[in-house]
């Protein structure tokens, strides 16, 4: 038990990337930080860090220990807030996970305003398209788009996630406009390699569901990169309107197959407990104020054809 006090120091070293940077952050000497980490490794009887003169990296055991230690520290901070009676005042470290494109396009621009409104909060925004474990990662909440398979999480719906199959006018002029999902087989489909619904695009036709396996010469794990490829005339792709809404409104991209709606999705904020710290509740309410509603800002100028192609939005 005596080595538990070294856990925050170990986590600080990993997050800072070096002993010297962690020492500066913690207000300790570099030698003191190094000694505490060595004591932690000795107490666990395992090496957590690989050290060279130029770099510092986690061992396999260190990676597993860090993931759990970071989550444990987050829970400890929450316990301190409760014990100190700080639930009513938004303050402290707030760790938020979000998909890369949504985070960069819609959360990052709001960060400064949020922190001006709540100056006692320190916001740690982690943007990654991989699904993270909130508890193990020590996150207070996450923005999730699409299906919510983890029923351990509490979810609050923020906005619909409208989706359009689209391409540039130049691509459609050169390759034609598909009239049925089956015609996508002869088009260059740009594929999202992190797509969690499987390697299929699913449409709703008059006689039921239509599944199409997209094929093409480009796949990428970032949606803004997919948008770049669309604008360059490379092919066709299904895209959320929170990324391409302005392009559809301006005519830089055109929606196709609007008579075949795509499955409905939504944007949620999820969190691991029903009793939220004040800092997390403040952030969720702020997002709802800025981005919430059935017609979020990025959908405000969508062409009628795109709106009418969504589930539940046909006239």
pLDDT tens across 258-287, in order? 999 888 889 999 988 766 888 999 999 999
Residue 84 has pLDDT above 60, yes or no: no
Q: What is the CATH number of the domain that holds 65?
A: 1.10.10.10
Same domain flag for 285 and 138: yes
Contact 33, 23 (CB under 8 A): yes
Residue 312: inside a domain, yes or no?
no
Query: In terms of pTM, does the model score above 0.85?
Result: no
Residue 155: inside a domain, yes or no?
yes
* pLDDT number for residue 54: 72
> Can you state the angle between helices 7-16 and 19-26, rounded to 10 degrees?
120
* pLDDT number for residue 240: 93
The parent domain of residue 47 ranges over 1-84
Residue 311: inside a domain, yes or no?
no
Categorize the per-residue pLDDT at 13 as very low, low, confident or very high, splitting at 50, 70 and 90: confident
Same domain flag for 55 and 123: no
Same domain flag for 112 and 245: no
The predicted model gives 150-166 an average pLDDT of 86
Same domain flag for 154 and 168: no
Same domain flag for 6 and 153: no
Residue 220: inside a domain, yes or no?
yes
**pLDDT for 181-208, tens place per residue?**
999 999 999 988 866 545 788 998 888 8
Q: What is the CATH number of the domain that holds 155?
A: 3.40.190.10
Question: Please, how many CA atoms are within 13 Å of residue 76, restricted to the half-sphere of its CB?
Answer: 10
Residue 314: inside a domain, yes or no?
no
Count of structural domains, the chain: 3
The predicted model gives 96-111 an average pLDDT of 95
Find the range with the poorest average confidence among 13-22, 102-111, 249-258: 13-22
Give the CA dihedral 8, 14, 16, 17, nearest 10 degrees: 150
């Amino acid at each position: 038990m005596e080595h538990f006090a070294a856990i925050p120091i170990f986590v600080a070293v990993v997050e800072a990337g070096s002993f010297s940077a962690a020492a500066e952050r913690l207000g300790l000497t570099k030698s003191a930080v190094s000694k505490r980490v060595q004591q932690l490794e000795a107490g666990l009887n395992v090496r957590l860090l690989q050290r060279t003169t130029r770099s510092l990296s986690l061992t396999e055991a260190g990676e597993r220990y860090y993931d759990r230690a970071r989550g444990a520290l987050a829970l400890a901070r929450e316990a301190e807030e409760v014990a100190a009676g700080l639930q009513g005042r938004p303050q402290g470290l707030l760790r938020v996970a979000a998909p890369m494109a949504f985070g960069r396009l819609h959360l990052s621009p709001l960060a400064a305003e949020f922190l001006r409104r709540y100056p006692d909060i320190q916001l740690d925004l982690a943007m990654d398209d991989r699904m993270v474990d909130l508890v193990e990662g020590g996150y207070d909440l996450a923005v999730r788009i699409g299906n919510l398979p983890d029923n351990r999480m509490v979810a609050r719906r923020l906005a619909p996630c409208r989706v359009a199959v689209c391409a540039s006018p130049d691509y459609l002029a050169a390759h034609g406009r598909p009239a049925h999902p089956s015609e996508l087989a002869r088009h260059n489909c740009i594929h999202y390699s992190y797509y969690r619904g499987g390697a299929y695009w699913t449409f709703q036709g008059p006689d039921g569901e239509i599944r199409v396996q997209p094929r093409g010469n480009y796949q990428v794990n970032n949606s803004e990169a997919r948008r770049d490829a669309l604008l360059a005339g490379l092919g066709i792709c299904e895209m959320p309107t929170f990324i391409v809404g302005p392009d559809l409104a301006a005519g830089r991209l055109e929606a196709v197959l609007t008579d075949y709606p795509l499955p409905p999705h939504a944007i949620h904020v999820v969190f691991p407990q029903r009793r939220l710290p004040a800092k997390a509740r403040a952030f969720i309410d702020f997002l709802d104020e800025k981005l919430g509603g059935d017609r979020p800002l990025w959908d405000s100028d969508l062409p009628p054809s795109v709106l009418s192609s969504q589930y539940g939005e046909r006239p």
